[in-house]
């Protein structure tokens, strides 16, 4: 089986997803070993584009473990491409080269036109060892997976990029005359001519020979124009099928083993079994991803190891602080002692300065006289004066190689007392710091005793589930089987009203600020039980939860009573609603939310809703209410509890693959677990 995609494969991939990718925003980029994942926000939702230079390009539905710290190459791609819009997504001629152009989109304030700036190009070369090259708007190399100098070009930083010379014909726009001229000048057999000189590879060259009933070893020069025209038309038919998206994506099997893949059925593959797929990106994703061998090269760090590192840093800081305090205590005591040992000298210096100031001498004059006296050695006491800081009222006196800051507004005795007091305070602080360090050392000792040994696991990829349309909102199915959806914020409240609120639906709102707009779908003759559950759901996801209420009130109205058009002269903020007529209130609704686990084909998914509604769908659930535990901590408890209660290894793996964020999204705020139920 081929281990890299061909020009035909790349062409099929590009034409399948080109319309989706152009205009898409590059939300993020991940690098897992040699695999790059581009998370694209398209008009149809988020897709993940996988690029593995030298091997493949396709969208992927599989979830891959990501390194804790992205490689430098990935960080550079993020720096230049993240949040930019894809403006071009194309193949270079008919070569195995993908070009992605992206730019920053903005609206010109003067003309109101959409414009593009900060343009970049990403080049993926799928031949030889493969390259991924990022270019700036001047077509110069910013970064590449490999730098190299070749006979016909160089890939080095800050040098203009040149594509590798194209070998073969550009099948997208080649004319019959050009094809015939190529054939006329070739000395090769027809199969070798098509494979190497036209550049379609051996398999498609043989396919052309089979379809035209030509011996593949005959010289191309011996074929008449009619036969060459037949071959040309077959080649153009392949290209037209790709351009018109008339693909027949297949996986080839032999004895239930995958032996190949093609964008359409080929006669040369007739001996194999064909497994048809919906699109060619799915074919490549299934074939390559399931046999993927990726390695994340980074140190495995357990949670305990992280805590140990943190405590060790704290101890280092505490030691440095104690040493600083000890030095300060020693120095300031010594300052006090030296003042008393040189009491008369210091007193005379302070008095001399006071007399000079009283006689009207400026500090500048005083400093000049001190410097002259030092030079002429006329006043012995000035030799002890190191410097003066007039603005601070400080004179620095040098005694026994120590520079002591003396406050000239205080007496020598008062200065000494100040230093002794500072020394005493520092010693008291040392005692407290040493106690704190002992506590930290004890904590570190316990952490080391209980240090986890984190087993190194081989990273595995898992298939990513495609969420249903309503899962972008808060949602649940009632005990009576009705779908209930609610907004997550102002924007989704608005979307629910404008896009999903229909004539027979019921609208529910809580008497709390920040209430979601909740609707019961297909609401003709809705049972009271469903209305009660939907109202409780509305209160749960309002600000009542964060305010730690235990119950709250909500009301329901019909489709005709709800509007986003305010009365004349009034303003209605975005996401707000005007309710006309009678509100049907439901009071004292308990803030109890059940988080359950249900099977959805090959996946387990977490669901949330009123207790009775969730109990109707699953026997595995946990009940929570407003509390003081962080959402992330509660989510971990919920997931761990479900894992412990599921014994089947395959099912346990499904639960393990649930992203923690999927559970966190269900929690209205800080919570506490009330009940765990596993029947």
pLDDT at 295: 56
Rounded mean pLDDT, 401-427: 92
What pTM, to 2 d.p., does this model score? Answer: 0.61
Instruction: Flag the least confident range among 25-29, 371-375, 425-429, 489-493.
Output: 371-375
pLDDT at 88 over 60: yes
Give CA–CA dist 146/126, Å, rounded. Answer: 13
Which pLDDT band holds residue 612 (cuts at 50, 70, 90)? Answer: very high
Which pLDDT band holds residue 677 (cuts at 50, 70, 90)? Answer: low
Which pLDDT band holds residue 601 (cuts at 50, 70, 90)? Answer: confident
Do residues 349 and 387 lie in contact, with contact meaning Cβ atoms separated by under 8 Å?
no
CATH of the domain at 42: 2.30.310.10
Residue 161 lies in a domain: no
Do residues 360 and 314 lie in contact, with contact meaning Cβ atoms separated by under 8 Å?
no
What is 3-18 written as a DSSP string? SS--HHHHHHHHHHHH
Interhelix angle for 225-243 vs 7-21, to 10°? 30
Q: What are phi and psi of 487, to 5 degrees?
A: -70, 150
Place of tokens 């106690």: 435
Give CA–CA dist 245/263, Å, rounded. Answer: 10
Residue 274 lies in a domain: no
Do residues 31 and 67 lie in contact, with contact meaning Cβ atoms separated by under 8 Å?
yes
Query: Are 25 and 138 members of one domain?
Result: yes
Instruction: Flag the least confident range among 52-66, 417-431, 434-448, 507-521.
Output: 434-448
pLDDT at 293: 67
pLDDT at 611 over 90: yes
Domain that holds residue 544: 469-590
Reduced to 3 states (helix: H, G, I; strand: E, B; else coil), residue 346 is helix
- Looking only at the bridges linking them, the beta strands covering 394-399 and 671-678 are unpaired
Contact residues for 672 (Cβ-Cβ < 8 A; gap 6+):
624, 625, 626, 627, 628, 629, 634
Residue 529 lies in a domain: yes
pLDDT at 364: 87
What is 504-559 written as a DSSP string? T-EEEEESSTT---EEESS-TT--HHHHHHHHHHHHHTSHHHHTT-SEEEEEEEEG
Query: Are 149 and 186 members of one domain?
Result: no
Rounded mean pLDDT, 117-141: 95
Give CA–CA dist 128/125, Å, rounded. Answer: 8
pLDDT at 303: 60
Contact residues for 300 (Cβ-Cβ < 8 A; gap 6+):
454, 456
Reduced to 3 states (helix: H, G, I; strand: E, B; else coil), residue 55 is coil
Query: Are 234 and 177 members of one domain?
Result: yes
Which pLDDT band holds residue 665 (cuts at 50, 70, 90)? Answer: very high
Query: Are 11 and 151 members of one domain?
Result: yes
What is 251-319 written as a DSSP string? EEEETTEEEEEESS--GGGTTSEEEE-S-HHHHHHHHHHTT------S----HHHHHHHHHHHHHHHHH
pLDDT at 304: 64
Q: What is the pLDDT of residues 332-351, one digit of tens each?
A: 999 999 999 999 999 988 88
Question: To the nearest whole percent, how much of the chain has pLDDT over 70?
Answer: 96
Which pLDDT band holds residue 56 (cuts at 50, 70, 90)? Answer: very high
Query: Are 211 and 327 members of one domain?
Result: no
Rounded mean pLDDT, 90-96: 95
Query: Are 336 and 414 members of one domain?
Result: yes
How high is the mean pLDDT of the chain?
Answer: 90
Do residues 592 and 674 lie in contact, with contact meaning Cβ atoms separated by under 8 Å?
yes
Residue 264 lies in a domain: no
pLDDT at 457 over 50: no
Query: Are 482 and 545 members of one domain?
Result: yes
Which of 207, 227, 245 terminates a domain? The answer is 245
pLDDT at 455: 39
Query: Are 17 and 134 members of one domain?
Result: yes
pLDDT at 243: 95
Give CA–CA dist 447/629, Å, rounded. Answer: 23
pLDDT at 294: 61
pLDDT at 555: 97
Query: Are 124 and 237 members of one domain?
Result: no
Contact residues for 425 (Cβ-Cβ < 8 A; gap 6+):
none
Rounded mean pLDDT, 444-451: 68
More confident call, 470 vs 449: 470
- Looking only at the bridges linking them, the beta strands covering 273-276 and 85-91 are unpaired
Give CA–CA dist 617/96, Å, rounded. Answer: 50
Q: Which of 576, 533, 585 is nearest to 557 (CA)?
A: 585
Residue 262 lies in a domain: no
| Other beta carbons less than 10 A from residue 627's beta carbon | 15
Which of 155, 182, 197 terminates a domain? The answer is 155
Which pLDDT band holds residue 635 (cuts at 50, 70, 90)? Answer: very high
Question: To the nearest whole percent, how much of the chain has pLDDT over 90?
Answer: 69
More confident call, 451 vs 536: 536
Query: Are 45 and 173 members of one domain?
Result: no
Residue 286 lies in a domain: no
Residue 586 lies in a domain: yes
Q: What are phi and psi of 535, to 5 degrees?
A: -65, -40
Angle ∠(555,560,563) on CA atoms, nearest 5:
80
Rounded mean pLDDT, 111-116: 92
Residue 298 lies in a domain: no
Query: Are 506 and 575 members of one domain?
Result: yes
For the chain, what is the radius of gyration of the CA atoms?
Answer: 39
Which of 125, 155, 185 terminates a domain? The answer is 155
Q: What is the pLDDT of residues 271-307, one digit of tens each?
A: 999 999 999 999 999 999 877 766 554 444 456 677 7
Contact residues for 578 (Cβ-Cβ < 8 A; gap 6+):
562, 563, 564, 565, 566, 567, 572
For the chain, what is the domain count? 5
pLDDT at 357: 87
Query: Are 420 and 354 members of one domain?
Result: yes
């Amino acid at each position: 089986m081929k281990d890299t995609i061909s020009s035909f494969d790349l062409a099929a991939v590009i034409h399948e997803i080109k319309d989706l990718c152009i205009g898409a925003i590059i939300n993020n980029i991940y690098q897992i070993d040699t695999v790059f994942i581009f998370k694209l926000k398209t008009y149809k939702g988020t897709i993940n584009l996988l690029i593995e230079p030298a091997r493949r390009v396709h969208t992927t539905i599989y979830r891959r473990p990501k390194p804790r710290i992205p490689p430098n190459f990935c960080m550079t791609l993020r720096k230049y491409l993240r949040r930019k819009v894809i403006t071009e997504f194309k193949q270079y001629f008919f070569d195995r080269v993908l070009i992605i152009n992206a730019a920053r989109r903005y609206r010109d304030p003067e003309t109101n036109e959409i414009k593009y700036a900060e343009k970049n190009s990403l080049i993926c070369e799928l031949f030889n060892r493969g390259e991924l090259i990022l270019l700036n708007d001047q077509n110069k190399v910013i970064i590449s997976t490999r730098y190299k100098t070749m006979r016909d070009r160089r890939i080095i930083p800050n040098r203009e990029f040149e594509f590798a010379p194209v070998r073969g014909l550009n099948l997208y726009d080649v004319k019959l005359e050009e094809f015939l001229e190529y054939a006329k000048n070739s000395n090769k057999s027809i199969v070798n001519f098509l494979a190497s000189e036209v550049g379609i590879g051996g398999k498609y060259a043989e396919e052309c020979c089979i379809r035209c009933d030509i011996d593949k070893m005959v010289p191309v020069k011996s074929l008449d124009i009619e036969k060459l025209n037949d071959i040309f038309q077959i080649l153009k038919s392949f290209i037209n099928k790709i351009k018109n998206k008339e693909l027949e994506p297949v996986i080839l099997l032999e004895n239930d083993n995958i032996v190949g893949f093609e964008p359409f059925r080929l006669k040369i593959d007739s001996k194999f079994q064909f497994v048809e797929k919906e699109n060619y990106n799915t074919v490549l994703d299934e074939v390559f991803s399931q046999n993927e061998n990726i390695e994340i090269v980074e140190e495995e760090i357990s949670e305990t190891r992280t805590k140990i590192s943190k405590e060790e840093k704290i101890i280092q800081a505490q030691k440095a602080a104690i040493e600083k305090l000890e030095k300060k205590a020693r120095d300031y005591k010594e300052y006090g002692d030296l003042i008393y040992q040189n009491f008369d000298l210091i007193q005379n210096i302070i008095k001399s300065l006071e007399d000079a100031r009283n006689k009207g001498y400026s500090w500048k004059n005083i400093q000049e006289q001190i410097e002259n006296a030092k030079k002429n050695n006329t006043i012995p006491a000035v030799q002890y004066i190191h410097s003066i800081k007039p603005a601070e009222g400080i004179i620095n006196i040098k005694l026994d190689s120590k520079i002591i800051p003396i406050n000239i507004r205080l007496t020598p005795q008062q200065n000494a007392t100040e230093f002794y007091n500072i020394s005493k305070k520092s010693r008291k602080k040392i005692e407290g710091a040493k106690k704190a360090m002992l506590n930290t050392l004890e904590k570190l000792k316990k952490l080391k005793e209980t240090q986890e040994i984190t087993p190194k696991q081989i990273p595995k990829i898992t298939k990513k589930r495609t969420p249903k349309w309503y899962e972008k909102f808060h949602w649940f199915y009632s005990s009576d089987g009705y779908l209930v959806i609610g907004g997550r914020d102002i924007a989704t409240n608005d979307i629910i009203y404008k896009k999903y609120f229909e004539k027979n639906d019921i609208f529910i709102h809580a008497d709390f600020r920040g209430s979601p707009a909740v609707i019961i779908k297909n609401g003709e003759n809705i049972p009271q039980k469903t209305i009660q559950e939907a109202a409780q759901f509305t209160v749960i996801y309002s600000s009542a939860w964060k305010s730690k209420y235990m119950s709250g009130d909500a009301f329901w109205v019909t489709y005709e009573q709800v509007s986003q058009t305010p009365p004349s002269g009034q303003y209605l903020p975005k996401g707000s609603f005007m309710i006309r007529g009678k509100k049907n209130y439901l009071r004292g609704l308990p803030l109890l939310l059940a988080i359950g686990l249900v099977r959805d084909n090959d996946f387990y998914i977490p669901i949330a809703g009123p207790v009775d509604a969730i109990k109707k769908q699953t026997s595995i659930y946990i009940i929570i209410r407003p509390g003081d535990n962080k959402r992330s901590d509660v989510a971990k408890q919920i997931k761990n509890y479900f894992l412990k209660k599921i014994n089947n290894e395959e099912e346990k793996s499904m639960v393990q693959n649930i992203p923690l964020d999927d559970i966190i999204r269900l929690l209205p705020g800080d919570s506490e677990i009330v009940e765990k139920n596993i029947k």
